[in-house]
Amino acid sequence: MTLKTLDTVKHASGTPEAEQPWKELGLKEDEYARIREILERRPTGAELAMYSVMWSEHCSYKSSKVHLKQFGEKAPANDAMLVGIGENAGVVDVGQGYAVTFKVESHNHPSYIEPYQGAATGVGGIVRDILAMGARPVAVVDPLRFGAADHPDTKRVLPGVVAGIGGYGNCLGLPNIGGEVVFDACYQGNPLVNAGCIGVMRHEDIHLAKASGPGNKVILYGARTGGDGIGGVSVLASETFESTGPAKRPAVQVGDPFQEKLLIECTLEIFREKLVAGIQDLGGAGLSCATSELASAGSGGMRVELDTVPLRDATLSPEEILMSESQERMCAVVEPDKVDRFMEICEKWDVIATVIGEVTEGERLEIFWHGEQIVDVPPRSVAHDGPVYHRPYARPDWQDALQADDANKLARPANSAELREQVLRLIASPNQASKAWITDQYDRFVQGNTVLAQPEDAGMVRIDEESNLGVAMATDGNGRYAKLDPYAGAQLALAEAYRNVAASGAKPLAISDCLNFGSPEDPAVMWQFAEATRGLADGCLQLGTPVTGGNVSLYNQTGETAIHPTPVVAVLGVIDDVNRRTPIAFKEEGQLLYLLGETREEFGGSAWSQVVHDHLGGLPPAVDLDREKLLGEILISASRDGMVDAAHDLSDGGLIQAVTESCLRGGNGARLVVPDGLDAFTFLLSESAGRAVVSVPRSEELRFTDMCGARGLPVTRIGVVDGDAIEIQGEFSVTLAELKDAHEGTIPALLA
């Protein structure tokens, strides 16, 4: 909003009936009325801009916060938690004086409009969240969802997103160690680009976003402020897309990874010299967010001289400066006697730094433009006391019919030859096929501390070179399961990520989440959200893994068509010695293969039902979190004590998918025997949860099976690592060469 006459606080007080573009800025009529009530006058243009971006769905969580509070109310007791929900990212204790901070966020809508920059700045934003906690970023992950693999627009969006993630992350020198790529027509027009980051620090180096100490200076440093991203993700992510395209198209932010690399090193040196009293990155809502959140979390007020902000575009109005989401910027609160040294370090790293204000003894956020006051607000009303919606929600009338359409009743292969053909179709399907075409564009081993990365069950990095202490992360989420049952679907996402981390040998500690849903104005979508949130909160309590923070992304919807409910869960784990990690590869011929857990006829939402029948219906696999916890303990103990050489969780695609991946990864085949009580089809393709396949050295067989038996975990010997094919005794055999062609050829052919 740009006015011919500067809209000062004094001017606003004297012109109460002036028309304002509150609706165009995404505010509802009652929200605008509430702003007037708070201020006891109409807002200035600058104030209206601030409230509009900070009260947007993306920034305020106004439709979701009534459900998210469960994560605090049901939080399990966990001595590892150092910083929880409410800061830029959560922090957990991983031992030896180290703390790890991690978070997952979304950059969905910007990545549809401008795939490269949308994805690149998603990486940049999550890295700055981690940096703002006082940590050095050490790795990134990227859970992705795209439309149908053969849709023309997927060929536009996917390569741009992948190039943006790789381009930005590779330039920062951060290994990309994990994530997922899922294709489904429901994401057509609403791709999900979620980005996660892990950072490491010492306990004493944790920093929080608060502005305390009257007289302390507020310093903006990093890139200049430009016109890119005005309103950006804060507005764009708070609207649905129409079938003809986005309803609103604010400029997508433009990233500069080299500037961010300088900003990272500059900030870490500032931290080492203990020069900041509070710090906040500038992401969604830009300066509106940084100033209001710092002031709100502090002990006083703040005065800002907005005209001192370094600009790339001198024509920007005050409102545009406050709304700009230009990247690579941070805001620090610094004691006066430390300002000179702060500036010296910024100059050393060629980072622009400007004192734009100071902390005051009052309780107001006051912003001035060339000496004229344009903002005078209670900062908490902007940053934390926004609208709270109790959106109506109701179980959709189609849910019963969907669940009654049982996938277990679909036609199954009539003979061994047909089963073999369906297995090959599954292995070659876009969701089950190798994603190497994508992950090879990411540097997975830069910095030299990556010990596991795609396509392993979890990514893992060493964080101490002397002790070999490490952390692992896995992200998972199955929108098909969640569509069938959002409560169970969220718990299945949690269980799979938990299982993946445990399979690598790491102990799961805590989670971050990225909750991707359609429009909250649709009662069916809000029911899905409420159920998934409840399921995740209950599941975390049962597993003892607290939610440290995360992100909600709503309005992922085109017209009346919403995406499948897609709760993505990131589980962080710790391992005392990364040399004890467990990979997925079957590397040693003669080792015995054991299936852990119970296999049932569970095909609802399965890869087989999708690939062979294009079907979604029935119930997802049953969840038993106590069994998941036991399985995790067995996998971690077996890894630590050298009882298994490889482990792979069973999830999408069932046993045959896991065995295929482990065989191809290790270059060895396997001979499998169908256990008594199971048919070959169920044995190979069921997606029952709480299962893993492991390869056990013959010398460890008795010790391993005794441990499983003593702990009450079902364990079944199903075969041996051997040869150059996967042979299902009495059914069929398929060579590794044929499997490799099927598994690795799909994605390059689709995207060529």
Q: Are strands 692-696 and 646-649 parallel, antiparallel or unpaired?
A: antiparallel
550 is in an annotated binding site: yes
Q: Which residues of 355-380 are buried (b: 16+ CB within 10 A; e: fewer)?
A: bbbbbbeeebbbbbbeeebbbbbbbb
Q: Which residues of 428-445 are buried (b: 16+ CB within 10 A; e: fewer)?
A: bbbbbbbbebbbebbbbe
253 is in an annotated binding site: yes
Choose the catalytic residue: 58, 67, 207, 564.
58
Written as six digits, the tokens of 45 are: 């243009």
Q: Which residues contact 98 (CB under 8 A, 6 or more apart)?
A: 200, 201, 202, 203, 463, 464, 469
103 is in an annotated binding site: yes
743 is in an annotated binding site: no
- Strand arrangement of the beta sheet that strand 245-246 belongs to: 245-246, 241-242, 557-558, 561-562
87 is in an annotated binding site: no
109 is in an annotated binding site: yes
Q: Which residue stretches of 133-198 are H helix? A: 152-172
> Around Cβ 398, how many Cβ atoms within 10 Å?
9
641 is in an annotated binding site: no
Identify the three-state secondary structure at position 732.
Answer: strand
657 is in an annotated binding site: no
Q: Which residue stretches of 335-474 are H helix? A: 339-348, 379-383, 399-404, 416-428, 436-439
Verify whether residue 203 is a known catalytic residue: no
151 is in an annotated binding site: no
**In one letter, which amino acid is 720?**
V
651 is in an annotated binding site: no
67 is in an annotated binding site: no
What spatial distance separates the first Cα and last Cα of the chain, rounded to whole Å?
A: 44
691 is in an annotated binding site: no
Verify whether residue 67 is a known catalytic residue: no
- Rounded to 5°, the CA angle 575-579-582 comes to 75
363 is in an annotated binding site: no
281 is in an annotated binding site: yes
609 is in an annotated binding site: no
326 is in an annotated binding site: yes
Q: Which residues contact 528 (CB under 8 A, 6 or more apart)?
A: 482, 486, 517, 518, 565
700 is in an annotated binding site: no
Residue with the two structure tokens 């490799």: 740
37 is in an annotated binding site: no
Choose the catalytic residue: 67, 107, 151, 564.
107
Residue with the two structure tokens 């297995």: 423
Q: List C-alpha distances in Å: 129 to 29, 91, 197, 449, 545.
A: 33, 12, 9, 22, 21
Q: Count of alpha carbons within 13 Å of 706, Cβ hemisphere only?
A: 6
Extract the annotated binding site for Mg(2+): 105, 129, 281, 551
Extract the annotated binding site: 61, 103, 105-109, 128-129, 253, 281, 325-327, 513, 550-551, 553
Extract the annotated binding site for ATP: 61, 103, 513, 550
For the annotated catalytic residues, the residue numbers are 58, 107
Extract the annotated binding site for substrate: 106-109, 128, 253, 325-327, 553
